[in-house]
Amino acid sequence: MKKIPLRVLFITIVLFFVSGGLSGAVVYHMSDAAEAAKKEYQQEINQYLSEKDMKIKNDLSNVTQSEIQRLQDETKKYLNEKLNQDYQQSLNQKTEEIKKVTDQKIEEIKNYIDQLLKNQ
């Protein structure tokens, strides 16, 4: 077996500890970064939750106003359609009554004329 020179052994041991130290430092920095991210995200979530209800209230207020307007527009349109239908039906009914009475009077006058001519 060959003997490993002391110098190579020393350099190997030093490199082992240096690389181990670097790995430990990298792990330490990653842990710090993860903890910092957790704290930052926790603050963002807390801020979001504290503002959430107010944002929802504001957004719902806008939605509510637009839905009230939609309700009024649609029901007003429906009312106007129904009123126009009722008016048209009533007008048609009255028109028919007038035509019927007019037809009766025309017939009455024709009979009167016929009677007058017959008596002469």
User: Could you read off the pLDDT of 66-82 as tens digits, one per residue?
Assistant: 999 999 999 999 999 99
- Report how far apart the first and last C-alpha atoms of the chain are (Å, whole number): 164
Supply the DSSP symbol for 78: H
Q: Positive or negative, the Cα torsion across 76, 77, 78, 84?
A: positive
Q: What is the mean pLDDT of the segment spanning 81-103?
A: 96
Q: What is the mean pLDDT of the segment spanning 107-118?
A: 95
Rounded CA separation 31/33 (Å): 5
Rounded CA separation 63/67 (Å): 6
Does this model's pTM top 0.85? no
More confident residue, 55 or 81: 81
- Hey, what amino acid is at 87? Y
CA 94 to chain centroid: 48
Place of tokens 């690389």: 19
Place of tokens 């957790």: 38
- Residue 53: per-residue pLDDT: 87
Rounded CA separation 86/82 (Å): 6
Structure tokens at 48: 């979001």
Rounded CA separation 91/5 (Å): 121
For the chain, what is the largest distance between any 2 Cα atoms, rounded to a whole number of angstroms? 164
Q: What is the mean pLDDT of the segment spanning 78-107?
A: 96
- Residue 33: per-residue pLDDT: 80
- pLDDT at residue 64 tops 60: yes
Task: Write out pLDDT tens, residues 99-108.
Answer: 999 999 999 9
